[in-house]
Amino acid sequence: MPGVKLRDGESFDGALKRFKRLCERAGILSEIKQHQFYEKPSEIKKRKKIEARRKSLRSSKIKD
């Protein structure tokens, strides 16, 4: 879990921005959105298969 300590002379808004950025990088928000609704195991497998295909296509385009 990301944590942020307030720096000397830093406003609360600045610390909040840093916290949001850390949460975004950690993938917390996307994970919450994924778990918001139930997804059947077959749908999970299908989504992961599609993601793997996209990833392999992207990596093959970069190598070319």
Find the domain containing 32 and state its range. 12-63
Both structure tokens of 12: 């609360």
| SS3 assignment, position 39 | coil
Q: Which residue has the tokens 């000397």?
A: 8
DSSP character at residue 38: -
What does pTM read for this prediction?
A: 0.51
pLDDT in tens, 10-45: 999 999 999 999 988 888 888 888 888 999 999 999
Question: Is 20:3 a contact under the CB 8 Å cutoff?
Answer: no
State residue 16's pLDDT score: 94
Domain count, the chain: 1
Residue 43 lies in a domain: yes
Tell me how far apart the alpha carbons of residues 56 and 50 are, in angstroms, rounded to a whole number: 10
Question: Is 15:6 a contact under the CB 8 Å cutoff?
Answer: yes
pLDDT at 62 over 90: no
Residue 32 lies in a domain: yes
Residue 1 lies in a domain: no
